Every structure is written in C-alpha cells, then in structure tokens.
Amino acid sequence: MSITKGKGVDIVLNSLSEEKLQASFHCVAINGRFIEIGKFDLQMNNKLGMFSFLRNISFISVNIENLFYLLPNKVKSFFDWIHENSRNGCVKPIKPINIFEPTEAKQAFKHMLTGKHIGKIVIKIRDEEPIRTPLLNTNPTLKLTVTSKTFFNPNKVYIIIGGLGGFGLELTQWMTLRGAKKIILTSRTGIRTNYQKIFLKRLEKFGQMSEMFKSEIIVSTHNTNCENGSKLLLEEANKLGTIGGIFHLALVLKDSLYENQTIEGFRQTCESKINTFVNLDKLTRDLYPDIDYFVCFSSVACGRGNGGQSNYGYANSVIERICEKRRSDGLHGLAIQWGPIDDVGLFADNEISSFAAIVKQRILSCLEVCDKFFQSSHTILSSIVSLFSINKL
C-alpha cells in the first residue's frame, strides 16, 4: 500500500489464510479482483467485512474440484485448453521452483510448512527423458509402490446389516464418498431416533448438492435371523441391481461373567451375530458367488478375550471361521476385530474401556483402517489402539 501510495493492487492471487488473507484483501484497489485459490477459510466459513466491497471489488473463488464434480461434461474441454495453451506458452509454470531430490522429501515438507517460500516446491523423482514415439514403446525406468484404495461400484448394491447403528451410519456416508450409490440398511425396528433421521436427511441433502454423491438409501426391516428373511432381503436388493457387498455390523450384548451367563443371554447374543451371517453365506454362495465384499465386524473380545463377554467372543469366533471357510473356497470373506470405539456405538458413552491397556479408537481412524483392510488378502484383521503405544508417543 505504501508503494502504490494507498491505491492498492488490481489483482491479488491468494493462497494464504486467516489474518494473512484479510491483509491481502485490504490491498485490493478500486475495481480490483481478489482471486482465492486456497481452501482453508472457505471450509472454515471465515468471514470478510462487507465494507470493502463498496470499492467494487470482485471476490473470485477458484475450485477446480467443483468443475469435475458438478460439471463433468466440462472436464475434457478444460484439459484440452490446458494442454493447448501449455504448448503455445500461454500457461507457464509458476516460478521460482524449489527442487528437492527424493531423499530430501522430509526437508521439502519442512520447507513448505514454514510458509515463507514463493513459487512451487518440487520433488524430482528422476531426470526428464526424451519423448519416444510411439509412447507405448517406452521402457519405464521407475517403479513405485502404491496402496490400493477402496472403491464401490455405483451400479452395484451394498447391504449393511445393522446399518442404523452409529458405526453403520458413518460407514454409509464413507461408502457414498467412495462411489456407492445404492445402499440398503437393515434394522428390525427401523428408524427410531432423531439422530438416525438427521443423519439420513443430511446424506440426502448432500446428494442434492452434488450429483456425484447422490445415492439411494433404503431401510429394510426384514428379519435376517431367519433364512426366509435373509432371502427376502437379497431379493429386495437384487431389484436395485447386482449385489456388490454385504457388511455385517449387527450385535446384541448380554455381558456377564461366565458363571453368571444364562442360556437366554447366550442365545440372544449368538443369534444377532451368527444366524444372519450363516444365512447370507449360504444364500450368496449359489446366487452371488462373485460378490466383491463379504465382511463382518468382529471384536477384540474374540481375538484377545474379555471376561464378561464369553458369549460375544464365541459368536464372533463362529463368523470368523465362516470367513476362513469362504476364503478357502475362493470367495471373499473378511473379519475385522475392532477394539472399543470412542465417537459412536456402544462404547461411546462409557468413560472407561472394558479392555485392559486398550484405549478407544476414533471413528475417522476406523474408516481409514477400513480403506486398507477391505483391500487386504488376509481373512482376519485386528484394529486396536494400545495404551503402551500412546505412552511411547
């Protein structure tokens, strides 16, 4: 402002946040333009004073992701424009460019975190190679190890048994963000709480905002504890499309020390875990042998044991054996032994974990684990947060 004698600048291209964004905004001249390419203040819904707009300032937010999500038919023309204008010199790299070697990746990120750099930070994996013709005949000189990401086919149907529980609803939202558009949530009692109503309504609104995330979510009340109810559920799902996956989250806890356990307590807990899984395993073997995901959520009570959950541990042990049998038969089967979860579900309201030396895991951490576990070739996997590992940190 001193250099321009109080006039300000005509265009600000900004990627700074918070007070630095505010300072940059106040530097815009009359009839100037403020072009925001950062996301932090937009995502945090931070506010700008309206008084500055009396100077006919234009605030323009540039978010290329919205172009892909909301206007997918514009993507090709956008890339064609970029390629054409990169060749003729219209679009040029931002300079200066700070180049780091692959062994200096840590220093590169530290340099970026200082917030003092100008231009771009680049990690050079290898030297430029001359373009060969045809391109398909080039011999790759670099191999990279990648981690597979979970993706759900938008044309297939996914069933979540016990899907109206806390974890089930979070899993539903996570799946819609990764491509799933047809999901059936099962619950014998249907929607009962305001939380369930609000959550499903939020998913509906989210789909209305972006066609990419628009999904059809159905709540089914079929009793899958009996074979006929499981059959009706699969028939209902098959009307929507090919069944792509079944996720078994349902459970009933009747905790008690073994000497105090009753036949009824054992029966209720085992029925909630075993019967449905047995029925769906039996029916899908013949009707849907190519199902992509056949997953059950087990418990650390099975893998490590828990004094008050002998019935629950036994029930999970049975479904884990079913998963092993499916794998040996060339079918998909996966059991995930979860520890206590903090944000949602049965342990969310408990102040103390019922497992020694294990602390509660956050739901975002669980979903990140699902991303990796669903791609694993192993049959039984476990996810817990050890108190000893936290103490080391």
Structurally, the chain folds into a number of domains equal to 3
Residue 214 contacts by C-beta under 8 Å, 6 or more apart in sequence?
Answer: 181, 207, 208
* Confidence (pTM): 0.64
Answer yes or no: is 73 within a domain: no
3-state class of 274 per DSSP?
Answer: helix
Displacement of CA 98 from its chain's centroid (Å)? 33
> What is the DSSP secondary structure assignment for residue 343, as one 8-state letter?
S
- Asked whether residue 266 carries a pLDDT value surpassing 80, the answer given is no
Three-state SS string over 214-259 comes to CCEEEEECCCCCCHHHHHHHHHHHHCCCCEEEEEECCCCCCCECHH
Q: 322, 330, 334: which is closest to 372 by C-alpha? A: 334
Q: Where are the beta strands (DSSP E) in 239-379?
A: 243-248, 293-299, 334-338, 358-359
Mean pLDDT of 276-289: 90
Structure-block tokens of residue 178: 């990764």
Answer yes or no: is 76 within a domain: no
Residues 233 and 343 in one domain: yes
Residues 121 and 13 in one domain: no
pLDDT tens for 78-110 read 888 888 888 888 888 778 888 998 888 889 999
Distance CA 373, CA 323 (A): 14
Residues 109 and 51 in one domain: no
Local confidence band at 46 (pLDDT 50, 70, 90 cut-offs)? confident
pLDDT of residue 393: 42
pLDDT tens for 346-390 read 655 554 445 555 677 888 888 989 999 999 989 999 888 776 554
> Could you list the residue range(s) of the whole structural domain that residue 117 is in?
93-145
- Asked whether residue 326 carries a pLDDT value surpassing 50, the answer given is yes
Q: 105, 125, 142, 161: which is closest to 277 by C-alpha? A: 161
> What is the DSSP secondary structure assignment for residue 159, as one 8-state letter?
E
Q: Where are the beta strands (DSSP E) in 171-215?
A: 182-186
Mean pLDDT of 277-281: 91
Local confidence band at 274 (pLDDT 50, 70, 90 cut-offs)? confident
Mean pLDDT of 221-249: 91
Residues 221 and 367 in one domain: yes
The answer to whether residues 358 and 300 touch, using CB atoms and an 8 Å cutoff, is: yes
Answer yes or no: is 193 within a domain: yes
Residue 290 contacts by C-beta under 8 Å, 6 or more apart in sequence?
Answer: none
| Helices then strands, each counted (H, E), the chain | 14, 14
- Asked whether residue 234 carries a pLDDT value surpassing 70, the answer given is yes
Residues 111 and 200 in one domain: no
Residues 175 and 255 in one domain: yes
Q: How many CB atoms lie within 10 A of CB 391?
A: 8
Residues 202 and 331 in one domain: yes
- Asked whether residue 391 carries a pLDDT value surpassing 50, the answer given is no
Q: How buried is 283 (Cβ within 10 angstroms: 0-12 exposed, 13-18 middle, 19+ buried)?
A: middle
Answer yes or no: is 2 within a domain: no
Structure-block tokens of residue 16: 């700074």
Q: Find the range with the poorest average confidence among 18-27, 283-292, 296-305.
A: 296-305
The CATH number that applies at residue 343 is 3.40.50.720
The answer to whether residues 8 and 32 touch, using CB atoms and an 8 Å cutoff, is: yes
Answer yes or no: is 15 within a domain: yes
pLDDT of residue 11: 95
Residues 333 and 224 in one domain: yes
Mean pLDDT of 200-206: 84
Answer yes or no: is 231 within a domain: yes
Cα distance from N-terminal residue to C-terminal residue, the chain: 47
How many residues comprise the chain? Answer: 393
Mean pLDDT of 139-165: 82
pLDDT tens for 128-147 read 766 555 555 555 566 667 77
Helix (H) or strand (E) holding 121: strand 120-123
Residues 388 and 255 in one domain: yes
Local confidence band at 336 (pLDDT 50, 70, 90 cut-offs)? very high
Distance CA 378, CA 247 (A): 16
Distance CA 383, CA 297 (A): 11
Choose between 323 and 387: higher pLDDT. Answer: 323
**% of the chain at pLDDT higher than 90:** 31
pLDDT of residue 225: 86
Residues 366 and 318 in one domain: yes
Local confidence band at 262 (pLDDT 50, 70, 90 cut-offs)? confident
What are the helix (H) ranges across 134-193?
A: 166-177
The answer to whether residues 233 and 224 touch, using CB atoms and an 8 Å cutoff, is: yes
Residues 23 and 116 in one domain: no
Answer yes or no: is 187 within a domain: yes
The answer to whether residues 336 and 383 touch, using CB atoms and an 8 Å cutoff, is: yes
- Asked whether residue 210 carries a pLDDT value surpassing 80, the answer given is no
Answer yes or no: is 317 within a domain: yes
Structure-block tokens of residue 216: 């059809």
Residues 345 and 240 in one domain: yes
Return mean pLDDT, the chain: 83
Mean pLDDT of 28-32: 94
